[in-house]
């Protein structure tokens, strides 16, 4: 019993390491330039063994996006469930996004450089928004609450979603290219205010 | 069993609907109408006002109004008199139960125990012996079935609003022929078509309305939603809501969720279902599966 | 010595009170009062115009479908270029005609026969009523209180299977009519113009009419002898007729509504005169042979009124049979008319079981600003003055104490709930 549990734990740990390593490589070099042997080398495991965990590079990439979505979704869910004004919630979501870009830059890089750029990788298994479901669901709930409370304008979901996420993605991109004169965190207040103004009821 | 049917502000739709009950003639043999607004009855209304004996079940129909006089007496007093005597009270229709449409047409109007979902307490003494049969109108099978079960003394489990669970534990959505379009989140719906679900655009309240419309079927043959008309939620305390033919949405997300379904669960499932393009739901039902 | 007596008339989709003023043994004047009202028109104000499709059928539990059709016509009248497929138009005509049929059966069996002390098995009314309900439901989802007619058509697609169900029931209904009401060939009966020929047949209609004759009531209930019909289709023609003098042109601008003291009903006049509406009026405009003959003999009496109404059944049966046969299922059920204009006015007219029903609405800033309903019973039962009494009032005035006042009254088929809305 105990032995079995131990083995499962070990396996899960190994799996996590694979995901993390793959994430780093994908984010750095892109999906196609990264190879399974390279990953295996970094992980100090055999190619064959790695395939025991993930049967293809595509499946691995899909797993990564799902984990990123779950990670962001869980953090935004905390915001959604807190008793806060819509304005404050926007600030928190922006903060979460930028913190993630700072502390886990590969996550956001992966999202922008792989998930959004190599759509063909995600066609089978990640149709529509399935693999980012948790994240999108929380954003939907945020919007829904906002409209229900009378704070946000009732509009098309994608117009609002694009405005919010496009803006944040753009800022992270500029930051990554070292174009921003100030640190990303210093933009939180302005950006939150802009988003709020763009989404609130007129 | 002796029944007394009293109507306040009503359209008589409940009484007419009951006539459509397929076994009405045989069913009626078990009952005597002390008074009924359409059918031959033992007493005239004037006699009911003067006072009659032997009421076993009091059927309350129509929206009540403070101070309403139908002939000589204040109707609510008449009601209270027979309510005290009756073994059981049945509110038929949404008007008598929650106030319904006509409650919006004047002051001091309500159902017997409720103003929409709020208990107003004016007839609280009778609450324990009241069975609520909302619907606009109530399905004849629901009314006839309830009265028969009461007569036979069969158990009739009630929900918190005193609606018999056998009829109201279902949602109108149960049994709708458009269910697959709901499940797979096909949100296009055009009127005049067999296909499509009206939850997303056209205000269908089937998923959060208690009732057996798609289980028993109306007139034994059909239902609103099967016939492409959105469910208007006519059995619910807040009937009639505003803007009934359009789904109210927050940034594209329906403002009301299916009964008891948390929004997060709904949205997660919806996200998944929407990811798939299922060919069958994109072409007319009557077209061949292949080619 | 004048004597005043107040009577409650019940089982008329609600109640009404009649205050009789007797002079000697005769009714010198009568007032018809409706004491309860629900305020439907007010409930509609401020709502989305489409909500009227849901609310209005609930005006009445017996003729709610006519209110739906009047509503959809009023809404459609707000558009400038709305298209309606012949299929949608025909299906609506059908369900409306089915309701007329059902109402006629119910009225004859539940209201009239008991007042003539005649009995008929309960199923004579239950069976046709139930079957007609099923026929409407097959096309419209349910009965009573559906909302399947919407601007641009109907909500549902009709399949041949639905239509088959309607057709089978139609055959059943014809059989019931011949077995119960009168045993005749429908085609021949519609052309029949001899009262005696009708009386010789088997059935509840000849029994009822014979009973009226036996009791010497055939001339009772005569009124103003003015008739009006606003709706027209392939079965009815619009116009007015004074006695048998016909005039086809009508203009709604001459219609005037006024409130009545002590009653929740409003009276309606056309060019300041009261007119009778309903099956007798429709028959007078069409000059249908048997009713014309009854009118020639007995005037606009209860005999003519009852006969005219029951004689509409075979005409409706033939009309609906032809309609069913002519429906082309390949046409669209609904043609999207686009959104309703933000500012508009519309009128919808329907021949309901009891006569012309008129809905008028005004839309402002996309909401209902004003909604007005004129029901058939308002024409027939509206109260007037001694100088210009209403239709039913005139029919009651002059009755002897021993005369069947209730029958005279109910021959108009009073619908209390419709009158006060
Ligand atoms: S139309 Fe209404 S009842 Fe039918 S499946 Fe859709 S939501 Fe359910
Ligand atoms: S489908 Fe909905 S609106 Fe229609 S009768 Fe049933 S509960 Fe009422």
Task: Count A/B contacts: CB-CB distance under 8 Å.
Answer: 53
DSSP-derived secondary structure letter, A68: H
Contact list in B for residue C149 (CB cut-off 8 A) is: none
Average model confidence (pLDDT) across chain B: 95
Q: What top-level class would CATH report for the domain B170-291? A: few secondary structures
pLDDT in the model for residue C419? 67
**HEC profile for chain C?**
CCEEEEEEECCCCCCEEEEEEEECCEEEEEEEECCCCCCHHHHHCCCCCCHHHHHHHHHCCCCHHHHHHHHHHHHHCCCCCCCCCHHHHHHHHHHHHHHHHHHHHHHHHHHHHHHCCCCCCCHHHHHHHHHHHHHHHHHHCCCCCCCCEECCEECCCCCHHHHHHHHHHHHHHHHHHHHHHCCCCHHHHHHCCCHHHHHHCCCHHHHHHHHHHHCCCCCCCCCCCEEEECCCCCCCCCEEEECCEEECCCCHHHEEEEECCCCCCEEEEECCECCECCHHHHHHHHCCHHHHHHHHHHCCCHHHHHHHHHHHHHHHHHHHHHHHHHCCCCCCCECCCCCCCCCEEEEEEEEECCEEEEEEEEEECCEEEEEEEECHHHHHHCCCCCCCCCHHHHHHCCCECCCCHHHHHHCCCCCHHHHHC
Q: pLDDT category, B291, cuts 50, 70, 90? A: very low
**What's the average model confidence in pLDDT over B134-138?**
97
Residues with CB under 6 A from ligand 2: B 136, 172, 209, 211, 213, 223-225, 231-235
pTM: 0.94
Residue C419 domain-assigned (yes or no): no
Which are the contacts of C270, defined by CB distance < 8 A and separation ≥ 6?
Answer: C228, C240, C250, C254, C255, C256
Distance CA B144, CA B164 (A): 13
Q: Which ligand is nearest to the CA of C137?
A: 2
Residues 218-237 of B with CB under 8 A from C: 218-229, 232, 234
- Host domain of residue C116: 3-412
Q: pLDDT category, A182, cuts 50, 70, 90? A: very high
Looking at the domain that runs over A57-199, which CATH code has it been given?
1.10.357.10
C146 touches chain B (CB under 8 A): yes
Q: Is the pLDDT of residue C403 over 50?
A: yes
Residue C421 domain-assigned (yes or no): no
CB contact under 8 A, A144 and B253: yes
Q: Which ligand is nearest to the CA of B244?
A: 2
Q: pLDDT category, A202, cuts 50, 70, 90? A: confident
From the list C35, C137, C333, the residue facing B69 with the nearest CB is C35
Nearest CA in chain A to B267: A137
Model pLDDT for residues B146-184, shown as the tens digit of each residue: 999 999 999 999 999 999 999 999 999 999 999 999 999
Residue A124 neighbours by CB distance under 10 Å? 10
Model pLDDT for residues B4-62, shown as the tens digit of each residue: 999 999 899 999 999 999 999 999 999 999 999 988 899 999 999 999 999 999 999 99
Distance CA B142, CA B165 (A): 11
Say if residues B111 and B96 touch (Cβ distance below 8 Å): yes
Q: pLDDT category, C413, cuts 50, 70, 90? A: confident
Which are the contacts of B145, defined by CB distance < 8 A and separation ≥ 6?
Answer: B166, B167
Contact list in C for residue B66 (CB cut-off 8 A) is: none
B17 touches chain C (CB under 8 A): yes
Q: Which ligand is nearest to the CA of B228?
A: 1
Distance CA C312, CA C108 (A): 12
From the list A129, A137, A140, the residue facing B275 with the nearest CB is A129
* Residue given tokens 């059943």 in the structure block: C172
Contact list in B for residue A137 (CB cut-off 8 A) is: 264, 267-268, 271
Token couple for A29? 């070099």
Q: Closest ligand 2 atom to the C-alpha of B205?
A: 2
User: Chain centroid to CA B168: how far?
Assistant: 9
Distance CA C329, CA C363 (A): 34
Residue B264 neighbours by CB distance under 10 Å? 18
Residue C39 domain-assigned (yes or no): yes
**Ligand 2 probe mutation, B140, B207, B209, B256, most atoms within 8 A of CB:** B209
Model pLDDT for residues C232-268, shown as the tens digit of each residue: 999 999 999 998 888 888 999 999 988 777 677 788 9
Say if residues C350 and C96 touch (Cβ distance below 8 Å): yes
Closest C-alpha to B92, from B64, B53, B56: B64
B24 Cα to chain C: minimum distance (Å): 8
B151 Cα to chain A: minimum distance (Å): 47
Q: Where in chain B is the domain with CATH 3.40.50.700?
A: 2-166
Nearest CA in chain B to C133: B219
Q: Which ligand is nearest to the CA of C144?
A: 2
Model pLDDT for residues B237-283, shown as the tens digit of each residue: 999 999 999 999 999 999 999 999 999 999 999 988 888 888 999 99
A128 touches chain B (CB under 8 A): yes
Q: Is the pLDDT of residue C95 over 80?
A: yes
Average model confidence (pLDDT) across chain C: 93
Nearest CA in chain A to B274: A128
Ligand 1, atom 7: closest residue by C-alpha: B199
A152 touches chain B (CB under 8 A): yes
Contact list in B for residue C148 (CB cut-off 8 A) is: 224, 227-229
CB contact under 8 A, B275 and A141: no
Which helix (H) or strand (E) is B264 found in, with range?
helix B263-274
B11 Cα to chain C: minimum distance (Å): 5
Q: Closest ligand 2 atom to the C-alpha of C146?
A: 4
C161 touches chain B (CB under 8 A): no
Q: What top-level class would CATH report for the domain B2-166? A: alpha beta
B262 Cα to chain A: minimum distance (Å): 11
For ligand 1, the distance from its centroid to the CA atom of residue C52, given in whole angstroms, is 21
CA-based diameter of chain C, in Å? 71
Percentage of chain A beyond pLDDT 90 is: 78
Give the best residue of B13, B41, B188 to mutate against chain C (max C CB count within 10 A). Answer: B13
Distance CA B52, CA B165 (A): 33
**What's the average model confidence in pLDDT over B124-136?**
98
Model pLDDT for residues B211-224, shown as the tens digit of each residue: 999 999 999 999 99
Contact list in B for residue A158 (CB cut-off 8 A) is: 252
Say if residues C397 and C31 touch (Cβ distance below 8 Å): no
How large is the ipTM? 0.97
Residues 345-364 of C with CB under 8 A from B: none
A74 Cα to chain B: minimum distance (Å): 12
Q: Where in chain B is the domain with CATH 4.10.480.10?
A: 170-291
Q: Which ligand is nearest to the CA of B203?
A: 1
Residues in chain B: 291
pLDDT in the model for residue B223? 98
Count of structural domains within chain C:
1
Cα dihedral value C62, C68, C70, C76, nearest 10 = -170
From the list C8, C130, C335, the residue facing B45 with the nearest CB is C8
Interface of B with A (CB under 8 A): 249-253, 255, 263-264, 267-268, 271-272, 274-276
From the list A134, A137, A156, the residue facing B251 with the nearest CB is A156
Say if residues A153 and A141 touch (Cβ distance below 8 Å): no
Nearest CA in chain C to B99: C38
Token couple for B125? 């003494």
Which are the contacts of A6, defined by CB distance < 8 A and separation ≥ 6?
Answer: none
A27-to-A42, A61, A99, C415 alpha-carbon distances in Å: 15, 11, 17, 77
Distance CA B70, CA B78 (A): 10
Which helix (H) or strand (E) is B7 found in, with range?
strand B2-7
Neighbouring-strand partners of residue B35 = B4
Residue ranges of domains in chain A: 57-199
The domain that holds C94 is classified in CATH as 1.10.645.10
Which helix (H) or strand (E) is B92 found in, with range?
strand B88-92
**What's the average model confidence in pLDDT over C179-189?**
94
Helix A86-103 vs helix A157-176: crossing angle, to nearest 10: 40
From the list C14, C137, C159, the residue facing B221 with the nearest CB is C137
C147 touches chain B (CB under 8 A): yes
A141 touches chain B (CB under 8 A): yes
Q: Closest ligand 1 atom to the C-alpha of B199?
A: 7
Say if residues C46 and C368 touch (Cβ distance below 8 Å): yes
A156 touches chain B (CB under 8 A): yes
* Ligand 1 proximity of B197 Cβ (cutoff 6 Å): yes
From the list B250, B267, B268, the residue facing A148 with the nearest CB is B250
B74 touches chain C (CB under 8 A): no
DSSP-derived secondary structure letter, B34: E
B67 touches chain C (CB under 8 A): no
C53 touches chain B (CB under 8 A): yes
Model pLDDT for residues C325-358, shown as the tens digit of each residue: 999 999 999 999 999 999 999 999 999 999 999 9
Closest C-alpha to B114, from B132, B138, B102, B101: B132
Q: Is the pLDDT of residue A54 over 70?
A: yes
Average model confidence (pLDDT) across chain A: 92
What are chain C's partners, defined as 3 or more CB pairs within 8 angstroms? B
């Amino acid at each position: 019993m105990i032995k079995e549990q131990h083995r499962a734990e070990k396996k899960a740990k190994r799996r996590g390491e694979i995901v993390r390593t793959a994430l780093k490589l994908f984010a750095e070099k892109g999906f196609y330039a990264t190879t399974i042997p390279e990953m295996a080398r970094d992980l100090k495991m055999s190619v064959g063994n790695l395939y025991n965990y993930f049967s293809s590079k595509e499946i691995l990439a899909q797993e990564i996006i799902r984990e990123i979505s779950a990670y962001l979704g869980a953090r935004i869910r905390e915001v959604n469930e807190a008793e806060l004004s819509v304005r404050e919630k926007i600030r928190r979501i922006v903060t979460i996004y930028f913190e993630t870009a700072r502390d886990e830059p590969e996550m956001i890089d992966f999202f922008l450089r792989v998930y959004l750029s190599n759509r063909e990788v995600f066609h089978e298994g990640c149709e529509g928004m399935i693999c980012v479901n948790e994240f999108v669901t929380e954003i939907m709930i945020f919007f829904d609450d906002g409209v229900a409370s009378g704070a946000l304008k009732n509009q098309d979901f994608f117009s609002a979603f694009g405005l919010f996420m496009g803006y944040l993605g753009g800022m992270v991109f500029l930051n990554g290219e070292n174009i921003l004169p100030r640190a990303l965190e210093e933009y939180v207040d302005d950006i939150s205010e802009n988003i709020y103004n763009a989404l609130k009821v007129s | 069993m002796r029944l007394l049917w009293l109507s306040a502000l009503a359209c008589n739709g409940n009484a007419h609907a009951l006539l459509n009950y397929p076994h009405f003639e045989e069913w009626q043999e078990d009952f005597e109408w002390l008074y009924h607004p359409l059918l031959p009855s033992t007493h005239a209304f004037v006699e009911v006002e003067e006072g009659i004996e032997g009421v076993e079940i009091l059927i309350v129909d129509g929206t009540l109004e403070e101070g309403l006089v139908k002939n000589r007496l204040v109707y609510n007093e008449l009601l209270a008199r027979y309510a005290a005597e009756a073994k059981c009270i049945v509110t038929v229709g949404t008007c008598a139960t929650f106030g319904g449409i006509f409650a919006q047409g004047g002051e001091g109007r309500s159902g017997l125990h409720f103003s929409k979902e709020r208990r107003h307490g004016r007839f609280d003494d009778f609450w324990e012996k009241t069975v609520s049969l909302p619907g606009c109108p109530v399905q004849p099978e629901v009314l006839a079935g309830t009265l028969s079960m009461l007569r036979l003394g069969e158990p009739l489990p009630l929900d918190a609003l005193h609606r018999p669970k056998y009829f109201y534990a279902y949602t109108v959505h149960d049994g709708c022929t458009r269910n697959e379009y709901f499940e797979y989140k096909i949100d296009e719906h055009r009127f005049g078509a067999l296909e499509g679900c009206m939850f997303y655009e056209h205000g269908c309240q089937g998923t959060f309305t208690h009732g057996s419309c798609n289980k028993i079927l109306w007139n034994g043959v059909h239902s609103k939603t099967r016939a492409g008309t959105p469910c208007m939620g006519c059995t619910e305390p807040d009937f009639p809501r505003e803007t009934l033919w359009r789904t109210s949405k927050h940034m594209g997300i329906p403002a009301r969720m299916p009964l008891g379904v948390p929004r997060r669960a709904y949205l997660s499932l919806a996200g998944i279902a929407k990811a798939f393009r299922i060919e069958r739901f994109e072409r007319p039902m009557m077209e061949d599966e292949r080619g | 010595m004048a004597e005043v007596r107040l009577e409650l008339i019940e089982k008329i989709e609600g109640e009404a009170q009649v205050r009789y003023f007797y002079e000697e043994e005769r009714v010198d004047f009568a007032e018809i009062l409706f004491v309860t009202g629900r305020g439907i028109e007010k409930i509609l104000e401020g709502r989305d115009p489409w909500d009227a499709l849901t609310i209005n059928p609930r005006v009445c539990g017996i003729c709610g479908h006519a209110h739906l059709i009047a509503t959809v016509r009023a809404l459609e009248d707000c558009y400038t270029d709305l298209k309606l497929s012949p299929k949608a138009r025909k299906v609506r005509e059908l369900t409306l005609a089915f309701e007329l049929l059902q109402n006629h059966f119910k009225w004859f069996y539940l209201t009239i026969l008991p007042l003539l002390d005649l009995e008929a098995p309960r199923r004579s009314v239950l069976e046709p009523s139930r079957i007609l309900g099923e026929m409407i439901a097959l096309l419209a989802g349910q009965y009573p209180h559906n909302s399947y007619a919407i601007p641009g058509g109907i909500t549902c697609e009709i399949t041949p299977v639905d239509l088959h169900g309607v057709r089978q029931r139609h055959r059943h209904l014809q059989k019931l009519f011949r077995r119960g009401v009168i045993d005749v060939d429908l085609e021949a009966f519609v052309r029949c113009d001899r009262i005696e020929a009708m009386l010789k047949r088997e059935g509840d209609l000849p029994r009822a009419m014979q009973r009226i004759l036996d009791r010497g009531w055939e001339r009772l209930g005569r009124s103003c002898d003015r008739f009006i019909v606003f709706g027209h289709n392939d079965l009815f023609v619009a116009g007015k007729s004074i006695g048998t003098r016909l005039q086809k042109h009508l203009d709604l601008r001459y219609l005037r509504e006024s409130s009545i003291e002590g009653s929740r009903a409003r009276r309606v006049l056309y060019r300041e005169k009261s007119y009778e509406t309903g099956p007798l009026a429709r028959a007078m405009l069409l000059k249908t042979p048997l009713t014309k003959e009854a009118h020639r003999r007995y005037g606009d009496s209860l005999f003519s009124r009852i006969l005219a109404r029951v004689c509409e059944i075979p005409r409706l049966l033939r009309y609906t049979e032809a309609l069913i046969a002519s429906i082309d299922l390949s046409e669209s059920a609904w043609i999207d008319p686009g959104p309703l204009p933000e500012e508009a006015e519309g009128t919808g007219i329907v021949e309901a079981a009891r006569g012309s029903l008129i809905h008028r609405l005004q839309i402002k800033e996309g909401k209902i600003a004003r909604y007005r309903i004129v029901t058939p019973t308002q024409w027939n039962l509206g109260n007037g003055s001694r100088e210009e009494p209403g239709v039913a009032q005139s029919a009651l005035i002059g009755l002897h104490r021993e005369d069947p006042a209730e029958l005279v009254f109910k021959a108009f088929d009073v619908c209390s709930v419709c009158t006060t809305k």
